[in-house]
Structure 1
Amino acid sequence: MLYLLIVGPIVAGVLTLLFKEKDTRLLTILIQLALLFYALHIFIDVRLNGTLFNYMSHVPEGLAITLMADAISTVFVLMTSTLFLVMMIYAYHKVYFTTTFGFLFLVLQALITGLFLSTDLFNLYVLLEVSTVTVSILIMINKEKQAIYDGMIYFFVNVIGTAFLLFGIGMLYRTTGLLEMNAIAEVLPLVEDSRSLFLAFAFMMTTLSLKTAVVPLFSWLPKAHGTPSAPPVVSAILSGLYIKTGVYLFIRFSTMFSAAIAIQELFLVIGFATSIFGFVMALGQNDIKMILAYSTVSQIGLIMIGLTMGAEKAYWGSLFHIFSHAIFKSTLFLAAGTVYHYYGTRDIRQIRGVLKAMPLVGAAILFGVLGVTGAPFFNGSISKYMIAYGSKDPLIQFGLNLINLGTITYFLKFSTILFGKDERAEEEKPPKEDKLSEILLLVMGLFIFISGVFGPLSVDWIFGYETEIFTAGYFEKGLVYLLMLLAGTGLYNGVIKESGVLDDISHLELTFNAIITAMTGNFIFIIGYLYWVFY
């Protein structure tokens, strides 16, 4: 009964609305805990017995609305249940945890879970549309001017972007007469002329390019993830988890089309361009949330590189990086929210001494930074090691080292908030966050370390993929990391910090009209590339 994982959060959300005058937060968390255990049960069942299918109607296979739990989707669902439980505990005593917020947040959980389990293309379209509305409201929930602007940009851009998906689904249905992805994958090899699939493929991949925020369709992400007044748990879920729905659908759609259309090399190049552009933009930011938002753009680019490199180890390394990124980016966004609450600013130049002022939060930030930069013994190092060993091509290795150097450099800038002296007078300092939130952040930080120390075991347990980490190779990567740390320190202090070389481009972003134009251009480019490659 896979649908319980989708219905459960909605039921919990409805309860928060029905009992407005009573505190239902504890009940909501208990339901979340039950959903987590059920997701774990499904995960173990799939690992032991193979893929599970849940047909929602009594019609032939391939026509029925289907939910599917396999080795990949169960990991994403388990990750969703875990992160939403963590977010609900973190937000338990926060003033923004109202009945309306609780309902919308839980509905978003149901929609994300549905995106990971559904194999029906039209269902996926509906889930993406409704999640767009839900996320937009969550971004604007505090009704501040900037939040409303950011939320509306996000809404209109993504609604138009999802329309591309609908066009693609319609064209694919006209060709195959099917909407179920597994059934479509079986019949596509029978299509005589692959040109009949080009429009459908280009429309659908344009939507996914937007949803994953790759170059040039990235501008909406910093607005949505870095909105000043959005609750920290919203930014954490958007950057740590929701963005992964686009990556997941990219995996599914690429598999579905693989027998007829396979252009991984194009998305490999796009992945490199996205990752490099993301870290360049992150270097120019002074807002702690904007640094993290552009970091997500860069890390998504890295994930796309591993997925399209054509090597099994890199592919599973990217999947593990999705998992790792969900943990350390959620930790960093929640910690950034806590720091903002205490310091009253998000300007990195005005925040100092976090480790001394808030030791638990500071430690969590340190663990998160070490994770995202790929420091030895942290989870990011394992996933980056696997991606790097997917190819011996010197150009690819150079590109991966350049990306990691950029990541280390902008997080050296971010880490300046940990040290130094807080110059504010004691009477200016607001009360700290509740101790439960700080302890929770530390636990998340420790998990980044533990899942790295036991990296190969983590990959095997989570994805069922056995990988070997060679001591000599891992030691070499550790030395490279130290050298890049030194290079990044010199680059930041000697060039970026003093010269302000990136100030002019730090505010570069596309307007609404430019994003729509870029979306159209992206569609035309994919069509042209398909004809160039295949004919």
Structure 2
Amino acid sequence: MLGILVLAPILMGAIAVILQHKIMKPIIYIFQLLYTGFAYYMFMLVKNNGPQVLNFGGYEDRLALSLYADSLSIFLVLVTAVFYIAFLLYTTNESYAEAKFYFLFLVLQGLMMGLFLSSDLFNIFIFLEVSTVVVSILIMYSKEKQAIYDGMIYFFVNVIGSSFLLFGTGMIYRTFGLLDIRALTDAMSLLDSPSAVFIPFGLMMVTVSLKTAVTPLFSWLPKAHGTPSAPPVVSAVLSGLYIKSGVYLFIRFTQMYSAVIDLQVFFFWIGFVTAVVGFVMALGQSDIKLILAYHTVSQVGLIMMGINMASEVAFWGAVYHIFSHAIFKSTLFLTAGMIYDEYGTRNVYTIRGLFRRMPWVAVATAFAILGITGAPFFNGSISKYMIAHGTHDYWVTILLNIVNLGTTMSFVKYATMLFGKNPKEGKAKSDPYALIASLLMGITSLLTGIFGEGLTQFFFNYEVHVNVSEYIDKGYVYVLMIIAGIAFYNGIIKHGGLITRIGHMELTFNGIITSMTGYLIVILLYLSFIL
């Protein structure tokens, strides 16, 4: 049955191309609801009965091509299916929402499911390559010059990046004669020397680090997620969902090598640097989509910190933050598209009076901002609370607070759009379907915070108990962060200068490729010194 999760969206996309009729959209929506119901059924099956495996070709498990669903992978499958309902609703009245678009959009859903469920390294490579093609076409869908340029940069960077995985997979197969991740996890412990897998480890980490967009491999992401003419729903699915496939593969690959290689300290610092660089770059932007794109980089850095803190509560906090980030960042990209359509600009310094001009869009945006900054009762506060409780080290707590302060500063700047004088009289007439989808996502930022404790138990079978007094203290810290963010914005950020110049620095295509090689060399040197 796992195969249905991968194949069904692809087949539905093909059917959409064949239909090309008014009945197409209702059929797609009905399909997505049924598909989400099936994803929930599979989630409950895994939750109640343990991991599920589908082997192809009649071969025994771990030698066959396999799809494998455990608590982590099936959670991401369910989240993707649910979010696609909101994304499809958002596109109902959009001019670009035609058969070809739905084909690409649904195929991408199936490919993401393949990435989450595949247990075979070569299959993962195939899914990455095909999804790279699909994403590139979606970025270039408007056929505008800038979109085509950004899409081609994304395509070539990621194809070259995926080749590192292919080479690493080839070396692993030569060493072990296996491609199944679960079989390789057991086989790693039989190695006489960890150095035998240093190079394949480094090669595979280059690919997943590029897909995750960590420092210094993130320069492609603002081009892909923030390209001016890309449909808002494409930016939402890339930042909200697709980028998480890189994080997921990072978790799987590091677990596979864990018996012989442990680079948690290294990747913790990579995560911290990524988080800081991301919010500094975001502070230097005036384009609302680029602010959001660079903050995807920053939030991925925070997730990487949580994953690599050698703490169970921090790990599941990071996984919950994957979920939380998907909600509030998708909301922000969806509302950003509506704001641009109404105001005709993406300049954060000229858009004002959202609460007066587009009150419900402003509410959805405000809820998402409260989520990403970790306001009490919103989802970001729960995931950040769990990550913070993964350490008793004072200096790690300081680092986490630096990241939170940077996020707060950026979204104090972003929130200025909500207030001020409305440049036009009256209220805007927003697309009702897009508005409903955005509001539902924004409200979910609140609900998944209020019910965060229960959801972590439901999703991960992991109990987290929020200490009320500590949570109140976190609330006081949040208020101080807001005050500091407002002070920094009015005192430094608002006036541009150095921050703006830093924000406009980016690597060329050659620079990105060079950084991949440098990143590989750094990993190999680090391994040779510590192991």
Structure 2 distance, partners of 1:221, 1:439, is 28
Structure 1 distance, partners of 2:408, 2:93, is 34
Q: 1:495 is matched with which residue?
A: 492
Q: Deviations over 1:247-274 (max 9, x none)?
A: 0000000110000111110000000000
Is 1:363 equivalent to 2:363 in the alignment? yes
Aligned-residue RMSD, C-alpha: 1.1
- Structure 1 residues 150, 411: CA separation in 2 closer, same or farther (over 3 Å shift)? same
Q: 2:372 is matched with which residue?
A: 372
Q: 2:51 is matched with which residue?
A: 51
**TM score, norm. by length of structure 1:** 0.98
* Amino acid across the alignment from 1:400: L
Offset of 1:394 from its aligned partner? Answer: 1.5
Q: 2:146 is matched with which residue?
A: 146
- SS of the counterpart of 1:54? strand
Structure 2 distance, partners of 1:127, 1:423, is 47
Q: Deviations over 1:172-202 (max 9, x none)?
A: 0011100000001111111112111001000
Offset of 1:378 from its aligned partner? Answer: 0.3
Q: Deviations over 1:28-65 (max 9, x none)?
A: 11111111000000111111111111112201221111
Offset of 1:499 from its aligned partner? Answer: 5.1
* Amino acid across the alignment from 1:321: H
- SS of the counterpart of 2:2? coil
Alignment of 1:352-431 (within 5 A): 352-424=352-424
Structure 1 distance, partners of 2:433, 2:524, is 52
* Amino acid across the alignment from 2:456: V
Q: 1:165 is matched with which residue?
A: 165
Q: 1:240 is matched with which residue?
A: 240
Alignment of 1:109-148 (within 5 A): 109-148=109-148
Structure 2 distance, partners of 1:323, 1:157, is 27
Offset of 1:85 from its aligned partner? Answer: 1.5
For 1:439, which of 431, 436, 451 is the aligned residue? 436
Alignment of 1:13-412 (within 5 A): 13-412=13-412
Offset of 1:434 from its aligned partner? Answer: 1.6
- SS of the counterpart of 2:475? helix
Offset of 1:21 from its aligned partner? Answer: 4.2
* Matched-pair contact (CA < 8 Å) for 1:8–1:31: no
**Structure 1 segments (4+ residues) deviating >4 Å:** none
* Matched-pair contact (CA < 8 Å) for 1:495–1:501: no
* Matched-pair contact (CA < 8 Å) for 1:36–1:78: yes
Structure 2 distance, partners of 1:290, 1:98, is 27
Structure 2 distance, partners of 1:360, 1:139, is 28
* Amino acid across the alignment from 2:504: H
For 2:476, which of 471, 475, 479 is the aligned residue? 479
Q: Deviations over 1:352-384 (max 9, x none)?
A: 111111111100000000000000000000000
Q: Larger deviation: 495-504 or 160-169? A: 495-504
Structure 2 distance, partners of 1:98, 1:437, is 16
* Matched-pair contact (CA < 8 Å) for 2:274–2:298: yes
* Matched-pair contact (CA < 8 Å) for 2:283–2:500: no
Offset of 1:439 from its aligned partner? Answer: 2.0
* Amino acid across the alignment from 2:237: I
* Amino acid across the alignment from 1:209: S
Offset of 1:303 from its aligned partner? Answer: 0.1
Offset of 1:424 from its aligned partner? Answer: 4.0
- Structure 1 residues 517, 25: CA separation in 2 closer, same or farther (over 3 Å shift)? same
Structure 1 distance, partners of 2:270, 2:431, is 42
- SS of the counterpart of 1:72? helix
- SS of the counterpart of 1:190? coil
Q: Deviations over 1:365-417 (max 9, x none)?
A: 00000000000000000000110111111111111111100100000000011
- Structure 1 residues 336, 199: CA separation in 2 closer, same or farther (over 3 Å shift)? same
Structure 1 distance, partners of 2:284, 2:101, is 33
Q: Larger deviation: 77-86 or 368-377? A: 77-86
Is 1:521 equivalent to 2:518 in the alignment? yes
Structure 1 distance, partners of 2:51, 2:177, is 25
* Amino acid across the alignment from 2:153: I
Q: 1:450 is matched with which residue?
A: 447
Q: Deviations over 1:312-346 (max 9, x none)?
A: 11001000000000011001100000111111111
* Matched-pair contact (CA < 8 Å) for 1:341–1:433: no
* Matched-pair contact (CA < 8 Å) for 1:360–1:441: no
* Matched-pair contact (CA < 8 Å) for 2:284–2:496: no
Offset of 1:22 from its aligned partner? Answer: 4.6
- SS of the counterpart of 1:68? strand
* Amino acid across the alignment from 1:249: L
Structure 1 distance, partners of 2:496, 2:225, is 28
Offset of 1:221 from its aligned partner? Answer: 0.3
Aligned residues: 531
Structure 2 distance, partners of 1:501, 1:511, is 21
For 2:465, which of 449, 468, 489 is the aligned residue? 468
Structure 2 distance, partners of 1:433, 1:69, is 40
* Matched-pair contact (CA < 8 Å) for 1:364–1:444: yes
Q: Deviations over 1:108-138 (max 9, x none)?
A: 0000010000000000000000000000000
- Structure 1 residues 425, 361: CA separation in 2 closer, same or farther (over 3 Å shift)? closer
- SS of the counterpart of 1:3? helix
**TM score, norm. by length of structure 2:** 0.99
Offset of 1:436 from its aligned partner? Answer: 2.3
Q: Larger deviation: 454-463 or 273-282? A: 454-463
* Amino acid across the alignment from 1:478: G
* Matched-pair contact (CA < 8 Å) for 2:87–2:437: no
Give the unaligned 5+ runs of structure 2: none
Structure 2 distance, partners of 1:86, 1:393, is 40
- Structure 1 residues 218, 499: CA separation in 2 closer, same or farther (over 3 Å shift)? closer
* Amino acid across the alignment from 2:94: K
Offset of 1:162 from its aligned partner? Answer: 0.2
Offset of 1:505 from its aligned partner? Answer: 1.0
* Matched-pair contact (CA < 8 Å) for 1:91–1:97: yes
Structure 2 distance, partners of 1:23, 1:38, is 23
Structure 2 distance, partners of 1:318, 1:499, is 33
Is 1:509 equivalent to 2:506 in the alignment? yes
- Structure 1 residues 138, 298: CA separation in 2 closer, same or farther (over 3 Å shift)? same
- SS of the counterpart of 2:142? coil
Q: Larger deviation: 392-401 or 219-228? A: 392-401
